Structure 1
């Protein structure tokens, strides 16, 4: 059943000769998000709710035939973690041009979010699981090809007295954020498209560091800006390694857990 869905969906969004593309999904019916021509739609039932997002539903409402909906289980969302759909999809160019019906594949992302609350603050941190969605000869399934830190938002209380409020100009929370973005990279001849991962990590006020006690620091107005951490704001090329069936970075990423762990 999944084979006609993916073949029908692949043709209008095939990557150009110059390389792969990252396609933004658009709103579909209900919680579904679709390719712009609605040839393929994805949905995580109950997304954002407890025990929601435990399966990926794939449908092809614009294919013109009755292919139905395929549901594939996901190993994410345990222990109260939230699950959401990455709002993009990456078509994988076919390498079997001579086949009468070349198998279509896509890279689909699922973001798993961990949340924490603590006195006077809280935060969340997400990981992106990039999944290879496609068909083998008589079978369909998902294979994870990338697991990487993705985003975070943290607020930590920093005022415990009126003097602290004065010292910090009433900026009574340290705020930390981390964001990631995936884009297509120049083709490398690999089995899956090469990708670029870009991240940005910031702290507010600009003098705040999560590993330090910032409550008694006297701030100036000029400190009330976001500081971009040069080490944790990085760019890495991702190449698919068929030996490990995973994407690997061209060089290791730094430890940015002070931003990404709630």
Structure 2
């Protein structure tokens, strides 16, 4: 298993949403992080896990995740509370523990596994990470939700001097997608609600993977900016349903330019 160190800034969330990025001249998409834990008024709490070798544990040691080959074992104290089987992976897929845990007021937990898919191209490459959250309760472990976590890619290439001139030296189209995840702090009873916020953008300017950039008009220095993608920069609230699964309050846009490496 290849370890992926997922930056906290992509996983955590701020209590106060950041101002919306400008339409042009934006930097590469990013979201500010916060210091965990984050808790709601019902007693549900998201906190960090600390890695110690093959174990990831809460600060009080009550909950730990162990990672024997091909699985994640959820431990409460010295007792196994559930097991997550990772399933088939290949050379293009890595997985790792999500370094957060959601401890629910009913003494159950939500733990996560991050799967990252890699793709190489002749002119670049890309990767996309997805978070699967599992509910662990009463000795059972069930997948509760999957959501996008992060993605980045570089596509296209310059093959000669004419291409470089047409692209003003920016030979790659770049795409970036980041998220932050937290709890709805306004919840007063029952299961937590999970907040997902995303930010996405492309460079140079507005590009799409469905069109050949070399067929567009030549670029100028003014075009060499990150463009904020309003459609793929969104907020969703995931609520716990009667079936035990979490679902967003609105459908997620496909955002295939970012999420299909």
TM range (shorter): 0.7 to 0.9
Distance 2:188 2:115 in 1: 29
TM-score, normalised with respect to structure 2? 0.76
Structure 2 equivalent of residue 230 of structure 1: 230
Deviations 1:36-94, CA, capped at 9 Å, x for gaps:
2333222334xxxxxx5x2113346xx5xxx2666724144434421111111110112
Gaps of 5+ in 1: 1-12, 46-51, 95-103
Q: 1:126 aligns with which of 119, 122, 129?
A: 129
Structure 2 equivalent of residue 101 of structure 1: none
Verify the 8 A CA contact 1:77 1:112 in the aligned structure 2. no
Deviations 1:181-225, CA, capped at 9 Å, x for gaps:
2110121644x2111111111111123222211125422223222
Cα root mean square deviation, aligned: 2.4
Deviations 1:120-155, CA, capped at 9 Å, x for gaps:
2111112211111122xxxx2311110122221111
SS of equivalent residue, structure 2 residue 233: coil
Query: Does the alignment pair 1:88 with 2:100?
Result: yes
SS of equivalent residue, structure 2 residue 214: coil
Query: Does the alignment pair 1:37 with 2:80?
Result: no
Verify the 8 A CA contact 2:42 2:189 in the aligned structure 1. no
Q: 2:72 aligns with which of 50, 56, 78?
A: 56
TM-score, normalised with respect to structure 1? 0.76
> Which stretches of structure 1, 4 residues or more, deviate above 6 A after TM superposition?
none
Change in Cα spacing, 1:77 to 1:182, as seen in structure 2 (3 Å) is farther
Query: Aligned pairs, how many?
Result: 222
Gaps of 5+ in 2: 1-36
Verify the 8 A CA contact 2:38 2:46 in the aligned structure 1. no
Relative contact order higher in (CA < 8 Å, ≥ 6 apart) = 2
